[in-house]
Structures are given as structure tokens and as C-alpha cells.
């Protein structure tokens, strides 16, 4: 029976509707909502389990989601889809590395967003995610005995605009009103109530080690404002690697090779069982049958710890990098929040505790459920059930446009708080230019070719004016979901164009991580290239202006000075050809110094001309 609520003032029946938070994970998804009685969040359980595997099985008659889908992974791998989150907002080329690890087929769609081929039909990752979300919506409606339309969905803090937009679209396609897309670490903090009361500012580290991914986020939380100071992580590191380490130990011990898919699966599942057992005991043993032979698979806690220590050390290096990025020291971190099933592994917890030795480590809540619970709290806030609070996040990569010479000109720097709006003024480089191509990029490198192109558009219909006269104001607005709106306006004429960055190109998770690393590795070379590009642009513009000068004011030059000017222009062109920055700069100076006298003459000529027309 559906619940109804009555508006006591008017006596009318109000339409009841529940709001939910969804943690749409790579491996598992969870749904949470707020308990009306105590206003606390809780996860909705399905078959007494709050975890719904983010997997899909395309059966003959129907699409199954969750455990039913996982059950088909061994028998019908080509019809069983998992890790859809890794495909969101990506193109085929972005997924080259991942492709070999997928059981199902992805289509080479060139630069378009990738599609998955299942039984001769093609599906976009957005559609696939929407099937998962639709299923979660149905579970929520059945368990809550109420309609569910409004949802907050969480994404990793490093998700770019395309990936956020794809997640939002999947929610819409599933028939839901996506109130907001929020960052997973922000949700985890909310679940612990950090920031819900207007207390002192706090620096919080959210350490999230799931099945396949690791994220560390540093937040500064004050008066309900969640500011992400820095993020770091590894998109291919998690509890699955712990399982693999155990499988390797056993495979070596018994020389297990060339196993069938189902035997590999048995070995992997036993390894996971062992790992989980070793979170509460010190040894594990089980007899399993592999290829007709019984094997006693055993492992001690010390063995597991030795095997996974290098993996945990890698996560700590990421923590160190994030602290460096945030310009903090470890001692500044006051609270740590443990998220993800793998933080139950004792060595993970003790290593994190040792590293953040002056911080309080929060692990009271179920680490699998905290993100969904936080999303439910946020949904509750946005539904107007709580005092509205501002959620501030951060952009993980700089956003900017291409300027003359292929240079990256940043409007919103990396780690800038969002929502944000920033403006900058530009102009044209050629006389009478009526169109201006605007290319938007994301990344940290000095040359746009090394960054990621988000989109492009042309500001058309600028009235013809001399170079440098039009005033083109670029506005970048990043909303709370991290969606970028770019506006270009020529202020003199009022010509304006607005574009929301549509995800055309994807980016591999590895690339996001590497982009930051590469900007550090190539810093010197990048600075040199920027210096050369700037000098070349300036020299090109001087040649352009000088040629125009000769055309328009030839009478001010005698044969000899024109020859000197032309010779100096040739020298600049040679220096540009030789890509010699210092030579370009000195040749440019030489021409500038020589032509100054003529520029002065032109000014005199123009003043005389102006005076002639006026009656004094």
C-alpha cells in the first residue's frame, strides 16, 4: 500500500515521494535514504544485502542486474557486462589498455563515445548505466513502498565533465530527476556528519580503497562548506589486486597453470574468501577441487601482509602527493575517513593510522555504505528537508582556451573551488577578423596539443575592426555538478555565443593521472616551448604590422630605409625558421628600434590630418 501524506493546513492530500542517494560504483552500487523517524541515513537492502553488483546480464528475454548478472559471468561472459563506470564518457582509443581485460566487446567508434556490442545490438555506457540505475530505482520503490524520482548520484572527485554529464544522462534515462552529482569523498564526510554542524574548520582525508580503484581526497570543511583541496589515486588498484596476490601465492605453490575460466574463478573467489577471513583471523585454510584434484589452499596473515605491502605503500605515496598538492603537511590532517571494503584489511587500516598519526581515524560506519549514505543526506538537503548547505568541490585539471601560437591560457586553474565563474578578455590578431575560433582545453601543459580538447566553437559576426580592437570576453562557469559553460562575447558589438561542453572525446583514467605527472616531468621543456611560441607570435605580429605600415605609409620611407626594414624582417623570418628564441627576440628588438622613428612620423601625420578637419 502506498503511503500518503496530508497537508495539515489545507487538508489536501500531498503527493508523497522518497528521495534517495546512489553510490554508482565500478563493481558495486548502493542505495540509501533517510529514515523519517530519526532522520538518519540507512542503506536499502535487497535480499538482505545492501550491495548490488554493478553488472548486467543480457538474457534471451530480459536484462538482469546485480547478483543474477554476476552469476552468468563464467557461462556467458560475452553477454555479461561489468565495470561500465570505466567506460563512461570515453572513446574507443581511450580504452585501448582496458579492452584486453573485458570479456565483452566494445566497438571502435573512432572519436565518438564508445559503444558495447551485445548480441548484435549496440549500447552506450550511458544506456547500460541507466539499466543499473533503473533497477536500483525499482528496488528502492519496492522497499520504501513509495515513488522514487529524485536522486543524488556520486562520482569520483577526478571525474571530468564528460564523465559527470554521462552519469547525469544515465540518471535521466532511468527516469529520475538527478538533483545533483556529488563527489564520493564529499558524500563520505557527510555520512560522518562532518560539516553538518557549523563548527570549526577541519582538514579531512578520505581514503577510499575499493575493489578496483583507490582515491585519496583532502577536504577542508567549515560551516557546511566542503572544499576539496586535492585529489590523487590509482584507477587500477584495489582489493582485487589483493585477491590476485593470494592467487599468485597458491599458483606458485602448486604450479597451477593454464586453468579454465571456471577454475580461475574458483581460485579467485577462494582468494577473496581468504582475504576477508584474514580481516578478523590470522590464518585461513580450505580444500578446493581444481581440474579434478583436491588442493588445500591455506594462507597466514603475515603472508598476506608481505604480499600486499607494496600495494598499500603505493596508496600511501598517493596520500603524500595529495598532501603536497594541497600545500599541507601530514600533521594538518585532523580526521581520516575510511571508505571502501578493502579498508577492512588490517594492514591497510594500521598503515593509514600510522601515516596520519595525529588524526582521528573514522571507521565506525560500514565502509561500503558511507558514500551512499552521504548521498542520501545530500538528497535530503536538496529536497528542502534540511537547512540548505553549499557544497563546494574542486576542479582536478585546469580549464582554458588556446591562444595564438598554440598556447594554453588558463581561465580556471586546477584545484579551483567549484561552483565558480571566471572571466578574461581577449582580442583579435588580424585586421578585419569577423570570426574567432575558440578551442577549449583541459590540462596542465603549456601547449594545447599536450592537453585534452573539450570542445570548440566559432564566435561569428564580429564587426570588421583593426586587429586588437575587438574586446572578446570569455566566461567560464563551472556549476556544482562540474559541467562547464563557456560564453564568448564581443563587448563592442554585443555578439555573443554560449556553449555547454558536450562530451565528444573521452579520456582514459590513466591519462588523467598521467597528465599531472607529465606536467611536472616536462616543466622545463614546456617553459622553453612557451617562450619560443610567445617570441614567434610577437615577431609574426611585428612583421604583419610592418608590412601594413609599408603599404600604407610608403611615402614616409626612402628606398634605403625600406631596404633596411625588409632586411631586418628577413632576419626575423630566418630566426623563426631556426626556432631560435633568443635570436627571434634580439632581431625583433632590432627591427622595433629601427622602425620607431617612422612610427613617430606616422603619429605626427595622423595628428596633422586630424587637426586639418577641425575648425579651431
Q: Which residue has the cell 591560457?
A: 409
DSSP SS3 for 570: helix
Whether the upstream peptide bond of residue 394 has omega within 30° of 0, thus cis, is no
Q: Closer CB to ligand AMP, residue 276 or residue 571?
A: 276
Render 334-357 in DSSP notation, one character per residue: -EEEEESGGGGSHHHHHHHHHHTT
CB of 388 to ligand AMP, least distance (A): 30
The answer to whether 58 touches 82, Cβ cutoff 8 Å, is no
| Candidate ranges 39-47, 232-240, 449-457, 560-568; the one touching ligand AMP (CB under 6 A) | 232-240
Please select the residue that binds ligand AMP; options are 185, 211, 224, 506, rule is CB under 6 A.
Answer: 211
CB of 309 to ligand AMP, least distance (A): 15
Interaction pattern, residues 243-282, with ligand AMP; x per rule: CB under 6 A: -----------------------------x--xx--x---
Burial letters for 455-477: b for 16+ Cβ neighbours within 10 Å, e otherwise? bbbebeebeebebeebebebbbb
Q: Which residue has the cell 552469476?
A: 71
Q: How many residues does the chain have?
A: 616
Q: Which is nearer to ligand AMP, 90 or 344 (CB)?
A: 344
Can you tell me which of 21, 125, 195, 210 binds ligand AMP, judged by CB under 6 A?
Answer: 210
From the CB of residue 91, how many other CB atoms can be counted at a distance below 10 Å? 22
Residue with cell 530527476: 177
- In angstroms, give the least distance from the CB of 365 to ligand AMP: 13
Distance of CA 271 to the CA centre of its chain: 32
Residue 433 CB, shortest distance to ligand AMP, in Å, is 53
C-alpha cell at 203: 582538514
Nearer to ligand AMP, 115 or 275 (CB): 275
Report if residue 217 touches ligand AMP, rule: CB under 6 A. Answer: no
Q: Is the Cβ of residue 301 or residue 383 nearer to ligand AMP in the bound state?
A: 301
CA distances from 558 to 71, 76, 550, 598 (A): 89, 85, 11, 11
Least gap, CB of 308 to ligand AMP (angstroms):
10
Per CB under 6 A, does 601 bind ligand AMP? no
Reference 325, options 205, 435, 240, 235; nearest CA is: 205
Write the CA distances from 199 to 162, 191, 222, 228, 365, integer angstroms: 35, 16, 7, 18, 21
CB of 247 to ligand AMP, least distance (A): 13
Q: Residue 238 or residue 470: which is nearer to ligand AMP going by CB?
A: 238
CB of 209 to ligand AMP, least distance (A): 8
Tally of CB atoms within 10 A around 502: 10
- 239 touches ligand AMP by CB under 6 A: yes
Q: Least distance from C-beta 328 to ligand AMP, angstroms?
A: 26
Instruction: Name the segment binding ligand AMP (CB under 6 A); options: 7-15, 22-30, 64-72, 429-437.
Output: 22-30
Binding pattern to ligand AMP, positions 310-349, x when CB under 6 A? ------------------------------xxx-xx----
Between 277 and 422, whose beta carbon lies closer to ligand AMP? 277
Nearest to 165 by CA among 608, 506, 614, 456: 506
In angstroms, how far is CA 311 from the centroid of its own chain? 23
Tell me the catalytic residues: 23, 85, 184, 208
Angle (deg, nearest 10), helices 346-355 and 301-325:
40
Structural contact between residues 136 and 31, judged by C-beta atoms closer than 8 angstroms: yes
Among 368, 369, 378, 481, binds ligand AMP (CB under 6 A): 368
**Whose Cβ is closer to ligand AMP: residue 338's or residue 585's?**
338
Q: Which is nearer to ligand AMP, 370 or 587 (CB)?
A: 370
Residue 174 corresponds to which cell in the numbers above?
A: 532511468
Q: At what angle do helices 161-173 and 125-144 cross, to 10 degrees?
A: 50
Determine the Cα–Cα distance for residues 35 and 29; give it in Å rounded to an integer: 20
Half-sphere CA count of 566, side-chain side, radius 13 A: 10
28 contributes a contact to ligand AMP by CB under 6 A: yes
Stretch that binds ligand AMP, among 60-68, 237-245, 284-292, 401-409 (CB under 6 A): 237-245
Residue 85 interacting with ligand AMP (CB under 6 A): no
Touching ligand AMP, residues 473-532 (CB under 6 A)? none
Residues found near ligand AMP in the complex (CB under 6 A): 25, 27-28, 210-211, 238-240, 272, 275-276, 279, 340-342, 344-345, 368
Amino acid at each position: 500500500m502506498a503511503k500518503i501524506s496530508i497537508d495539515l493546513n489545507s487538508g489536501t492530500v500531498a503527493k508523497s515521494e522518497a528521495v534517495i542517494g546512489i553510490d554508482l560504483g565500478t563493481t558495486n552500487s548502493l542505495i540509501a535514504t533517510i529514515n523519517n523517524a530519526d532522520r538518519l541515513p540507512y542503506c536499502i537492502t535487497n535480499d538482505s544485502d545492501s550491495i548490488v553488483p554493478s553488472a548486467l546480464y543480457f538474457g534471451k528475454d530480459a536484462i538482469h542486474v546485480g547478483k543474477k548478472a554476476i552469476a552468468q559471468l563464467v557461462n556467458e561472459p560475452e553477454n555479461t557486462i561489468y565495470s561500465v563506470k570505466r567506460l563512461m564518457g570515453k572513446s574507443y582509443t581511450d580504452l585501448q589498455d582496458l579492452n584486453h581485460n573485458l570479456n565483452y566487446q566494445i566497438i571502435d567508434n573512432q572519436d565518438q563515445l564508445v559503444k558495447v556490442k551485445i548480441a548484435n545490438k549496440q549500447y552506450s555506457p550511458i544506456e547500460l548505466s541507466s539499466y543499473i540505475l533503473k533497477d536500483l530505482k525499482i528496488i528502492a520503490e519496492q522497499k520504501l513502498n513509495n515513488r522514487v524520482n529524485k536522486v543524488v548520484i556520486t562520482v569520483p572527485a577526478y571525474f571530468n565533465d564528460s564523465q559527470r554529464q554521462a552519469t547525469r544522462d544515465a540518471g535521466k534515462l532511468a527516469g529520475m530527476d538527478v538533483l545533483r552529482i556529488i563527489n564520493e569523498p564529499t558524500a563520505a564526510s557527510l555520512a560522518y556528519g562532518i560539516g553538518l554542524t557549523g563548527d570549526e574548520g577541519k582538514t579531512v582525508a578520505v581514503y577510499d580503497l575499493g575493489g578496483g580503484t583507490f582515491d585519496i581526497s583532502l577536504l577542508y570543511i567549515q560551516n557546511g562548506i566542503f572544499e576539496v583541496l586535492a585529489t590523487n589515486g590509482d584507477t587500477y588498484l584495489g582489493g582485487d589486486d589483493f585477491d590476485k596476490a593470494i592467487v599468485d601465492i597458491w599458483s606458485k605453490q602448486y604450479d597451477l597453470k593454464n586453468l579454465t575460466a571456471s577454475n580461475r574463478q574458483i581460485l579467485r573467489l577462494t582468494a577473496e574468501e581468504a582475504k576477508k577471513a584474514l580481516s578478523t583471523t590470522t590464518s585461513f585454510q580450505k580444500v578446493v577441487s581444481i581440474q579434478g584434484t583436491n588442493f588445500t589452499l591455506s594462507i597466514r596473515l603475515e603472508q598476506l601482509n608481505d604480499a600486499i605491502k607494496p600495494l598499500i605503500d603505493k596508496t600511501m605515496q598517493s596520500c603524500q602527493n595529495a598532501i603536497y598538492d594541497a600545500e599541507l603537511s601530514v600533521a594538518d590532517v585532523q580526521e581520516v575517513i575510511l571508505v571502501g571494503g578493502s579498508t577492512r584489511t588490517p594492514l591497510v587500516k594500521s598503515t593509514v593510522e600510522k601515516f596520519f598519526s595525529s588524526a582521528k581515524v573514522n571507521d565506525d560506519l560500514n565502509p561500503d555504505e558511507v558514500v551512499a549514505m552521504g548521498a542520501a543526506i545530500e538528497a535530503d538537503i536538496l529536497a528542502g528537508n534540511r537547512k540548505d548547505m553549499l557544497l563546494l568541490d574542486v576542479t582536478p585539471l585546469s580549464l582554458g582556451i588556446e591562444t595564438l601560437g598554440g598556447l594554453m591560457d588558463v581561465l580556471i586553474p586546477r584545484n579551483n573551488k567549484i561552483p565558480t565563474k571566471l572571466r578574461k578578455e581577449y582580442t583579435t590578431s588580424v585586421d578585419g577578423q569577423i570570426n574567432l575560433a575558440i578551442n577549449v582545453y583541459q590540462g596542465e601543459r603549456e601547449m594545447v596539443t599536450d592537453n585534452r580538447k573539450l570542445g570548440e566553437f566559432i564566435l561569428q559576426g564580429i564587426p570588421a575592426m583593426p586587429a586588437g580592437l575587438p574586446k572578446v570576453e570569455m566566461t567560464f562557469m563551472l556549476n556544482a555538478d562540474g559541467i562547464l559553460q563557456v560564453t564568448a562575447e564581443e563587448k563592442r558589438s554585443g555578439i555573443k555565443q554560449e556553449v555547454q561542453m558536450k562530451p565528444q572525446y573521452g579520456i582514459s583514467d590513466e591519462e588523467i593521472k598521467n597528465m599531472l605527472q607529465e606536467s611536472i616531468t616536462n616543466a622545463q621543456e614546456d617553459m622553453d616551448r612557451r617562450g619560443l611560441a610567445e617570441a614567434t607570435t610577437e615577431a609574426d605580429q611585428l612583421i604583419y604590422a610592418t608590412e601594413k605600415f609599408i603599404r600604407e605609409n610608403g611615402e614616409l620611407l626612402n628606398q634605403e630605409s625600406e631596404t633596411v626594414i625588409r632586411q631586418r624582417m628577413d632576419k626575423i623570418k630566418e630566426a623563426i625558421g631556426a626556432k631560435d628564441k633568443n635570436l627571434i627576440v634580439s632581431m625583433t628588438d632590432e627591427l622595433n628600434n629601427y622602425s620607431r622613428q617612422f612610427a613617430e612620423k606616422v603619429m605626427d601625420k595622423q595628428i596633422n590630418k586630424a587637426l586639418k578637419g577641425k575648425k579651431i
